[in-house]
Amino acid sequence: MKAQVVRIGNSKGIRIPKSVIEQCQLHGTIDLIVQQGQLLVRSATKARAGWDQAFEQMHRHGDDQLIDRETAATSEWDRKNWTW
């Protein structure tokens, strides 16, 4: 499929046929990514999408431990003055 670059106000853009938008399930905010001179258009990913599954997998593999235990030690101020 070919499309023309058209003027839209002070910018330029392309018109994406409705059938393509429906096939790709594009809606709302989208991500535009340039890879090796090509433009990739996709539905925007939600911030932190997939983090829950990644943390669960880390826990199963024991990769969820503190790596800087020296700074994790509480100070006197933490013990006496800090409250949650």
What is the pLDDT at residue 72? Answer: 60
From 1-5, 30-34, 60-64, 75-79, the region with the lowest mean pLDDT:
75-79
What is the pLDDT at residue 83? Answer: 79
Encoding tokens for residue 14? Answer: 């392309």
What is the identity of the amino acid at 44?
A
Task: Give the DSSP H or E segment for 44.
Answer: none
* Domains of the chain, first to last: 5-43 (2.10.260)
Positive or negative, the CA dihedral 10, 13, 17, 21 is negative
Q: Answer whether 44's CB lies under 8 Å from 29's CB.
A: yes
pLDDT digits (tens, 9 = 90+) for 33-70: 999 999 999 988 788 888 999 999 999 998 887 777 66
pLDDT at 71 over 70: no
Mean pLDDT computed over every residue of the chain: 87
